[in-house]
């Protein structure tokens, strides 16, 4: 399924709570940015969404004017902007690179929130512009260089709520990756070898956006922090042991990032229930696999092997899994690899309902389940990889 030619913010589904809505917003805004032909067209919908879903009255994206980064200029904006001489000067000349806010964003590389700009040194200069509260998120290159910043503001002091902060942080962190891609496209379209350079940037942007989506999903369903990155790292080590080719490794990684994206469609009452699910609730929970396929497919660029990880990672080697009851080689190798890594990390991570298992206990459980839940060959390879790592790591 291809990307819609003209994605709309009205495509967003209203969630049952702020975390659901924020995560769904990220998914749709990612589609919009990936389909956009230019940076302003890619980022303006994000700014509009922030203004319509928070107390912010206006929002803008500022970007470094050139490689010297002497000033950051407005590239996209929406809502009400301050009507002051200072703002007029910024519109003409940009935010100076030495502004305390920009220095703080580059140093911290994470969103910042100011309930009252007059009370914080890092927001110095904004009260004079007429901006009384401010939220700012950096857009950085891979080496941490500040490329640009998302800002949203109010004209009165405002205490940013936890829900507003979650939305801004989740949306900005994901779309920031795509902003980098759009900027790179602008820089390469006039250069020799532009097509090849753009292709590489586009793949890198998709990679960064999918990882950010995965991290956003961790927040949505209360997953242990770092689960996505840990499972991906384990899966890639197994992929290397099996000699998977580069395109297969990429598909495995992308599928791992989005393996639980279908949980966006699961009600909180089921997803976050502290106790055991009843039969009806379990049936609803299992629907996250088919919903995951539907949502991931709307992105328009995931290979079939990545979709297979999403749809098959709850299948079992003995045929007792869901949703289709696939067995043995009917399950893709990527999904079989991911399933082992996913369960291992779940066992060795502390959860509200259980203590973390030791590595030895988790490996023993995987070996018990070899031939039942898991591919025996994948389990053997996994044990060998972790054993080799343990031997190589000094006590």
What average pLDDT does the segment 229-255 reach? 94
Top pLDDT among 128 and 1 is at: 128
Query: How many domains does the structure of the chain reveal?
Result: 2
pLDDT, residue 392, reads 53
Determine the pLDDT at residue 40: 81
CA angle 154/158/162 to nearest 5° reads: 110
Q: Which range scores top for mean pLDDT: 77-91, 117-131, 348-362? A: 117-131
19 and 107 together in one domain: yes
- Residue 330: pLDDT over 50: yes
183, 237: one domain: no
pLDDT-above-70 percentage for the chain: 77
82 and 27 within one domain = yes
Tell whether 69 and 201 lie within a shared domain: yes
Higher local confidence (pLDDT), 279 or 215: 279
CATH number at residue 120: 3.30.450.40
Same domain for 196 and 251, yes or no, is no
232 shares a domain with 201: no
Q: Output the pLDDT for position 176.
A: 67
Q: Are residues 102 and 245 in the same domain?
A: no
CB 7 within 8 A of CB 306: no
Look at residue 122 and tell me if it is in a domain.
yes
By DSSP bridging, strand 112-114 and strand 71-79 are unpaired
- Look at residue 71 and tell me if it is in a domain: yes
> Domain residues for 338?
223-258+302-392
Q: Kindly give the interhelix angle for 39-53 and 18-35, rounded to the nearest 10 degrees.
A: 160
Q: Indicate if the pLDDT at residue 14 is higher than 50.
A: no
Identify the weakest region by mean pLDDT among 53-62, 89-98, 267-276: 267-276
Interior/surface letters 229-263, b for 16+ CB within 10 angstroms, e for the rest: bbbbebbbbbbeebebeeebbbbbbbbbbbbbbbb
Whether pTM > 0.75 for this model: the answer is no
Angle between helices 246-257 and 333-347 (to 10 degrees): 50
State the CATH number of the domain containing residue 366: 1.10.3210.10
Residues 249 and 193 in one domain: no
- pLDDT class of 106 with cuts at 50, 70, 90: confident
**263 occurs within a structural domain:** no
Q: Is residue 277 part of a domain?
A: no
- Tell me: do 234 and 175 sit in the same domain: no
| Same domain, yes or no: 50 and 192 | yes
Per-residue pLDDT tens digits for 334-357: 999 999 999 999 999 887 667 899
Q: Are residues 241 and 350 in the same domain?
A: yes
Q: What is the CA radius of gyration of the chain?
A: 23
Answer whether residue 286 is part of any domain.
Answer: no
Q: How would residue 391 be classed by pLDDT, with cut points 50, 70 and 90?
A: low
For residues 95 and 174, the model is more confident at 95
């Amino acid at each position: 399924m291809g990307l819609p030619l003209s994605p709309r913010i009205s495509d967003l589904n209203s969630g049952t709570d702020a975390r659901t809505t924020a995560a769904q917003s990220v998914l749709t805004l990612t589609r919009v940015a990936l389909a956009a032909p230019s940076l302003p067209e890619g980022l303006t919908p994000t700014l509009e969404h922030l203004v319509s879903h928070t107390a912010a009255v206006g929002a803008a994206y500022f970007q470094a004017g050139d490689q010297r980064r002497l000033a950051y200029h407005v590239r996209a904006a929406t809502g009400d902007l301050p009507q002051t001489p200072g703002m007029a000067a910024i519109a003409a000349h940009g935010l100076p690179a030495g502004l305390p806010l920009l220095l703080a964003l580059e140093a911290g590389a994470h969103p910042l929130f100011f309930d009252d700009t007059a009370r914080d040194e890092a927001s110095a200069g904004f009260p004079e512009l007429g901006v009384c509260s401010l939220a700012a998120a950096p857009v950085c290159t891979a080496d941490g260089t500040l490329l640009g910043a998302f800002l949203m503001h109010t004209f009165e002091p405002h205490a940013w709520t936890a829900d507003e902060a979650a939305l801004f942080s989740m949306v900005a962190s994901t779309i920031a990756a795509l902003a980098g891609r759009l900027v790179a496209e602008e820089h390469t379209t006039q250069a020799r070898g532009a097509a090849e350079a753009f292709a590489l940037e586009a793949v890198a942007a998709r990679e960064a956006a999918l990882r950010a989506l995965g991290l956003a999903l961790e927040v949505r369903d209360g997953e242990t922090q770092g689960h996505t990155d840990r499972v991906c790292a384990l899966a890639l080590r197994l992929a290397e042991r099996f000699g998977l080719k580069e395109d297969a490794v990429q598909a495995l990684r992308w599928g791992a990032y989005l393996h639980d994206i279908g949980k966006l469609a699961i009600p909180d009452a089921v997803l976050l229930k502290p106790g055991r699910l009843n039969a009806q609730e379990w049936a609803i929970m299992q629907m996250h696999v088919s919903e995951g396929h539907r949502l991931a497919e709307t992105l328009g660029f995931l290979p079939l092997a990545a979709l297979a990880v999403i749809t098959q990672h709850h299948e079992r080697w003995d045929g007792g899994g869901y949703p289709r009851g696939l067995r043995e080689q009917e399950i893709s190798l990527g999904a079989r690899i991911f399933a082992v890594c996913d369960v291992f990390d779940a066992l060795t991570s502390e959860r509200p309902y259980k203590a973390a298992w030791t590595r030895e206990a988790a490996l023993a459980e995987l070996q018990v389940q070899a031939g039942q839940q898991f591919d025996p060959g994948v389990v053997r390879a996994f044990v060998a990889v972790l054993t080799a790592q343990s031997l190589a790591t000094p006590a």
